[in-house]
């Protein structure tokens, strides 16, 4: 998947969970564990390690929890 699409998808997930009570990072990470295949999760963590440009802070925190 292109990095741009991955960032868009991750930020859309965050936009939802950031409005919910509780730790959005934990909920984002749980969603990604349940619905993203391992390659997508790996791509996200690699992207974060290379700077994570454009990722919302809650996505960055969630990626660290994966």
Q: Provide mean pLDDT across the span 37-61.
A: 97
Asked if residue 41 lies in contact with residue 66, where contact means CB atoms within 8 angstroms, the answer is: yes
Residue 7 banded pLDDT, cuts 50, 70, 90: very high
Helix H or strand E segment including 31:
helix 24-35
Domain boundaries, the chain: 3-65
Is residue 45 within 8 Å of 63, Cβ to Cβ? yes
pTM over the 0.75 mark = yes
| DSSP of 12-23 | HHHHHHTTSSS-
pLDDT of residue 15: 97
- Using DSSP's 3-state secondary structure scheme, residue 46 falls into helix
pLDDT at 8: 98
* Chain Cα centroid distance, residue 38: 13
Calculate mean pLDDT across residues 23-41: 97
> Residue 26's pLDDT is what?
96
């Amino acid at each position: 998947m292109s990095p741009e699409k991955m960032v868009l998808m991750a930020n859309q997930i965050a936009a939802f969970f950031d409005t919910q009570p509780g730790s959005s990072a934990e909920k984002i990470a749980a969603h990604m564990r349940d619905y993203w295949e391992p390659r997508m999760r790996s791509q996200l963590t690699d992207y974060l390690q290379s700077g994570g440009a454009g990722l919302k802070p809650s996505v960055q925190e969630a990626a660290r929890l994966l």
